[in-house]
Structure 1
């Protein structure tokens, strides 16, 4: 019997239940692990509340990131063996391959032997933020040394990963956060500039920082009214990559900025990297190189024990964290 987290109805954190149930062994091409740590993501709060891009049949499991020890491998798996220390790239469906449990099963191509120097908590905080940021900034935007990049929701785990990746390739990261409460922490972490969007004029500050050339790359998790000042401060031929929708307000289409500057506004999800074997392998190689060199270092905001999964989700929704929330199993 395994202990797993499921929800039988949509709602707040309190709908999550720890249950004991039989977990089948790994199928062909799958790896089953004894989980030691879980990385929490906003997507899990969305699926729990009924507002995610994936609609599960109820009851449902959930969870996208885990680290642990290989317990068993399915037919056809040759690169892993019981006892290997591994972590997991988020699967295409957390309903099909849920991570929240003390035993979990994943497709072998999404399982990674991470650097042995990583603790379980750190290993569980790697793949969602860094693959997300890598796919947008490196694979799509081709971010490089001359570039300025605007990163909204900068204190999230993906935002912090984007700051590190920008610095890794020599670009200049401009962090955008709602208030100045996290400004010093973001500067200490490696942001070249920090803009508090609720306290400052976003367009004016970006133009002051970058000058008349404008910002070539914007990496946005928020949407909403900020689209207009963001695009107004972008360079001709710039690209705005949208990977979230945190703003509860409508997102305007900035027609004249898009037309006059030949801008690209592009929707993006980690799924397009995960579902493409060549792009996924390139992402793994880039991230593993960064982890081994020390240029990429996951940030743990707070750690909860497995029995406090409800409290962990409450903290996830507080927006108080700086980095990744991790649950130990």
Structure 2
């Protein structure tokens, strides 16, 4: 028996319950982990509230990221042993492979031996944010040192990961944040420029920073009216990569600008990377190199105890965090 978190109805953080259940052993090609820390993601709040791209049968577990010690190994798994310290690449289905528990089972292909220098908290904060940012900026946009890249929702864990990846490549990171409260922290996190969208004209500031050539890459999880100033400031042949839909307002399609500049507006999910073994291996190599060198370093906003999972979800939905929320088990 192990203690896990599940929900029996859709709703707010208060629907999360602790239960003692028999966690299934690892099947062929799987690994069971004794969890030490969890990384929280907005997708988990969406699943819990019934608004995620995956609709679970109730009751359901949840959770996408974990770090811990290998407890047992299924048939056909090589290269791992019980006691190994590992972290987990987010699976396609958190309903099939939920992470919130003292024990959790995952496909072996998604289990990684991370650098031993990482704490459990940092190891649980690695894969979703860096894989998401890497897939968009490196794998799809082919970001280079001569590029300007706009990163909206820049104080999120993915936004901060994107800033670090841009700096690792030598590109110029332009962070966009809604209010001025996080301006200085974003500068300290490595953003070359910070634009406060509530106080500044986004299009004018981007054109001022990037000059006549404009911004080649935009990385955005918001959508909505922001599309108009973003595309207006983009370079000819630029690419806007959309990986979310946080805005409650309609997203206009800027037809004239898209045609005039031959822009690419590209929807993106991290599953494009995690579901392709070759692309995933390239991503893992890039990220592990950055973790080892220190050019990539997870920013942790706040750490909660497992017993405080409801409070952790409330903080997740407050949008007050700067970086990743982690839960220790």
State the TM-score bracket (shorter-chain normalisation). Answer: over 0.9
Mapped to 2, the partners of 1:25 and 1:66 lie a distance apart of: 17
Which residue does the alignment assign to 1:88?
88
Taking the aligned partners of 1:73 and 1:200, their CA distance within structure 2 comes to: 54
Q: In structure 2, list runs of 5 or more residues that go unmatched.
A: none
- Counterpart-to-counterpart distance in 1, 2:236 and 2:109: 39
| Alignment TM-score, normalising by the size of structure 2 | 1.00
- Distance in 2 (CA, whole Å) between partners of 1:16 and 1:198 is 35
- Once residues 111 and 88 of structure 2 are traced to their aligned partners in structure 1, the CA distance between those partners, rounded to angstroms, is 5
Instruction: Tell me the equivalent position of 2:272.
Output: 272
Cα drift, residue 322 of structure 1: 0.4
- How far does residue 79 in structure 1 lie from its aligned partner after superposition? 1.2
Q: Secondary structure at the match of 2:135?
A: helix
Q: In structure 1, how many angstroms separate the alpha carbons of the residues matched to 2:98 and 2:79? A: 22
- The superposition leaves residues 112-133 of structure 1 with CA deviations (integer Å, 9 ceiling, x where unpaired) of 0000000000000000000000
Alignment correspondent of 2:42: 42
Question: 1:44 Cα shift?
Answer: 0.3
| Residue 209 (structure 1) aligned with residue 209 (structure 2) | yes
How far does residue 199 in structure 1 lie from its aligned partner after superposition? Answer: 1.4
**Which residue of 2 is the match for residue 66 of structure 1?**
66
Distance in 2, matches of 1:104 and 1:199, equals 45
Query: In structure 1, what is the Cα distance between the partners aligned to 2:67 and 2:237?
Result: 40
1:220 matched to which residue of 2? 220
Q: Secondary structure at the match of 2:134?
A: helix
CA distance in 1 between partners of 2:80 and 2:248 (Å): 44
Which secondary structure does the structure 1 equivalent of 2:26 belong to? Answer: coil
- Write out aligned runs for 1:1-329 (5 A): 1-329=1-329
Matched residue SS, 2:165: helix
- Partner Cα distance (2:255, 2:199) in 1: 26
Over aligned residues, Cα RMSD in angstroms? 0.4
- Matches of 2:110 and 2:229 in 1, distance apart? 38
Q: How many residues align?
A: 329
SS of residue paired to 1:204: helix
Question: TM-score, normalization: structure 1?
Answer: 1.00
CA distance in 1, matches of 2:17, 2:201: 44
Q: SS of 2:318's equivalent?
A: coil
Determine the C-alpha separation between the residues in 2 that align with 1:20 and 1:212. 61
Query: Could you list the per-position Cα deviations for residues 132-171 of structure 1 after superposition, in whole angstroms to 9, with x for gaps in the alignment?
Result: 0000000000001000000000000000000000000000
Query: Aligned partners of 2:112, 2:43: CA distance in 1, in Å?
Result: 22
Task: Give, in angstroms, the shift of residue 258 of structure 1.
Answer: 0.3
Instruction: Classify the secondary structure of the residue corresponding to 1:57.
Output: coil
Query: Secondary structure in 2 aligned to 1:95?
Result: coil
Cα distance in 1 for residues equivalent to 2:55 and 2:80: 32
Q: Measure how far apart 1:20 and its partner are.
A: 0.5
Gaps of 5+ in 1: none
* Matches of 2:93 and 2:322, distance apart in 1: 26
Separation in structure 2 between the aligned mates of residue 279 and residue 258 of structure 1, nearest angstrom: 29
How far the C-alpha of 1:268 sits from its partner, in A, is: 0.2
